[in-house]
Structure 1
Amino acid sequence: MDVLEALLDGPRARGAFLLRALLDPPWSLRIEDEAPLTVLAALRGSAWICAEGRSPMRMDGGQVAVVLGPDHYTVADDPATPPDVVIYPGGRCTSADDGRALWDERSLGIRTWGDPDGDCVLLVGTYEGDGEASRPLLSALPGVVLLDHEEAPTALLSVLADEMQIEAPGQRALLDRLLDVLLISTLRTWFASRRDEAPGWFRAQHDPAIGEALSLLHQQVARPWTVDELAAQVGLSRAALGRRFTALLGEPPMSYLTGWRLALAADLLVSSDTTIAALARQVGYGSPFSFSAAFKRVYGVSPQQYRAGRASA
């Protein structure tokens, strides 16, 4: 398991909101759904993505964008077009003028909404949950990731767009997986083409020894690692491993491992009902007490409180 693979395991679609929007100029959608991550693609026509504090970005037919939340933004036929529709969490949409509900009024069938004669067709895939394990990945991205035409996974786009218009047993799970594949392909391409600008954990994968060390830590997270043992595994001295690892990742190997263990634990607390004792063992802690103490130092609350708070939210 490489680092990108491990981090991409976090933003995984589970009943993601998927929609084809058919839009006829002038149009402007104010996105206030506060989703942590949204995939946008222009299946036909073009659109402008206008995020606060950034220059508007034009997305033409065949291009794919990833937009990070929870900040609000606008997608429009032209940056100057004032919003006429506001999108809220869960896909609820209203008129920007009078607040009336628009979903039923503009519904066009299976996962399709808008104007039947719309010149622009947008694919929208919204991830409505996030996790701690994927935070290093998402924090390394700009507010909007936009692939060039030659980089965009057009074949994947076509398959997902076709499947979105089908209702069949297991279709929701199939669409989630296709959206995940589109996201992974987009981010992998974006990072690979901008290696010099990529975060340390991505560049570290291209260092043979440090890349192997990271892979070992991610594959065997529960193993009682020591720096000496890890250094021996990758053929470096303890000092050399520490210097190279810290230079690329910004922290020593055992500090990185602790952060990764606790991030995994935070996500498991939310996504499973595993007992605290079993979860502690799963992420490499010898006792529930030592795990709870380490977790509280980082997240400010006990594992039980973290689980209860996220369940309530």
Structure 2
Amino acid sequence: MDPLAHLLDGPRAHRAFALRVVMAPGWSIDVRDEAPLTVIAMMTGSAVLASDGVLHDLEPGDVALVRGPAPYSVSDDASRAPDAVIHPGQLCTTPTGEHLDVTLSHGVRTWGNSPLGQTSMLIGTYTSDAEVSRAVTAALPRVAVARSGQIDPALVALLGREITSDASGQGSTVDRLLDVLLVHTIRVWASEHPESARGWLAGRSDPLVARALELFHGDPGAAWTLDVLARRLNVSRATVASRFRATVGESPISYLTNWRMLLASEMLARPEATTSQIATEVGYGSPFALSTAFKRRFLQSPTEYRRRVYPASVPVRRRDVG
């Protein structure tokens, strides 16, 4: 299993914030929502996405992924001062603090400074780490753009229709379409920018490393060592170690440890999962061994992490290990 498959099998969009934005000339939005990941699909017109001092021109058909939580802006002119500020929880105000949520609302999940504006885009925001795998987002740059013609326009159009629909099941349909659009955009960006890919995305460029990643992701709970991995790949320890580090940027066992910790952190979102079950699934012999490794990675126990990040998943009756 590769991390993109994991994205769809594990925590994913759940009632994601999705909106159709329509703007007339003369606009600038300062986004400070601290969301881990946002998908922006340009429908009509053009825009400039500014992040960390870098400008990205967006045209119809382009799809951009923006990795948080740092702020960024979207406008029709990068030199224009912001007219609106998006805060955590998707609260929208003017730069001086006046609320704009109702003022700029134009129908079902449609927002902007004019209902007939020339520029329109779809915004889909993963609002918490529980919704999108951090292994996926960590492999992306701050902004990744798939250009027009590389993403099926029918997928984007369907997402747009669902966002502005009030039909039964609309929320779940938007979530799944957003997931699919995310995966397609990552695929396109990775194939177009192999030199910029990081982590597991970079590993896909080397067949040997790609196979090692498939083994790790397919069975993270196995008793992996460098010797075992080398035997499975039918190469020497030195070969797999050097090629893995050169491509992914860390040793195979370091990558595996980080991957196991990410899996464990996401499994805590499942109310029925005990630390004992999670320990077994990610390759630790006991809840105590898992807790020790988890504290080293996240500076808090699994129980503390669950209560902070996934409060809704904390069981009412369970003696958990922390």
Q: Which moved more, 1:108-117 or 1:227-236?
A: 227-236
Structure 1 residue 76 displacement after superposition: 1.3
Q: State the partner residue of 2:316.
A: none
Pairs within 5 Å for 1:277-296: 277-296=276-295
Q: State the partner residue of 2:12.
A: 12
Aligned residues: 311
Q: State the partner residue of 1:25.
A: 25
In 2, distance between residues paired with 1:93 and 1:215? Answer: 42
Q: State the partner residue of 1:50.
A: 50
In 1, distance between residues paired with 2:195 and 2:203? Answer: 12
Structure 1 residue 223 displacement after superposition: 1.6
Q: State the partner residue of 1:297.
A: 296
Structure 1 residue 271 displacement after superposition: 4.2
Local SS of the residue matching 2:53: coil
Structure 1 residue 39 displacement after superposition: 0.9
Q: State the partner residue of 1:249.
A: 248
Q: Which moved more, 1:42-51 or 1:5-14?
A: 5-14
In 1, distance between residues paired with 2:8 and 2:134? Answer: 10
Structure 1 residue 110 displacement after superposition: 1.1
Q: Which moved more, 1:197-206 or 1:3-12?
A: 3-12
Q: Which runs of 5+ in 2 are unaligned?
A: 313-322
Conservation of the 8 A alpha-carbon contact between 1:11 and 1:127: no
CA deviation map 1:206-248 (0-9, x unaligned): 4333322211111111122233332222212333333332332
Conservation of the 8 A alpha-carbon contact between 2:62 and 2:145: yes
Q: Which runs of 5+ in 1 are unaligned?
A: none
In 1, distance between residues paired with 2:84 and 2:188? Answer: 32
Q: State the partner residue of 1:307.
A: 306
In 2, distance between residues paired with 1:41 and 1:133? Answer: 18
Superposition TM-score, scaled by structure 1 size: 0.90
In 2, distance between residues paired with 1:145 and 1:13? Answer: 19
Cα 1:131–1:165 change in 2 (3 A) is: closer
Superposition TM-score, scaled by structure 2 size: 0.88
CA deviation map 1:179-220 (0-9, x unaligned): 111111111100111113322533433433332221111111
Q: Which moved more, 1:239-248 or 1:25-34?
A: 239-248
Pairs within 5 Å for 1:65-80: 65-80=64-79
Conservation of the 8 A alpha-carbon contact between 1:8 and 1:134: no
Conservation of the 8 A alpha-carbon contact between 2:294 and 2:301: yes
Conservation of the 8 A alpha-carbon contact between 1:10 and 1:130: no
Conservation of the 8 A alpha-carbon contact between 1:37 and 1:69: yes
Conservation of the 8 A alpha-carbon contact between 1:87 and 1:94: yes
Structure 1 residue 164 displacement after superposition: 1.5
CA RMSD of aligned residues (A): 2.4
Conservation of the 8 A alpha-carbon contact between 1:295 and 1:303: yes
Conservation of the 8 A alpha-carbon contact between 2:221 and 2:282: yes
In 2, distance between residues paired with 1:30 and 1:133? Answer: 23
Pairs within 5 Å for 1:144-163: 144-163=143-162
Cα 1:207–1:57 change in 2 (3 A) is: closer
Cα 1:204–1:71 change in 2 (3 A) is: closer
Cα 1:24–1:153 change in 2 (3 A) is: same
Structure 1 residue 11 displacement after superposition: 7.1
Q: State the partner residue of 1:110.
A: 108
CA deviation map 1:242-279 (0-9, x unaligned): 33323323333233222211111011123434111111
Is it true that 1:222 corresponds to 2:217 in the alignment?
no
In 1, distance between residues paired with 2:303 and 2:218? Answer: 26
Q: State the partner residue of 1:164.
A: 163
In 2, distance between residues paired with 1:124 and 1:289? Answer: 42
Q: Which moved more, 1:22-31 or 1:303-312?
A: 303-312
Local SS of the residue matching 1:185: helix
Local SS of the residue matching 1:86: strand
In 2, distance between residues paired with 1:23 and 1:130? Answer: 30
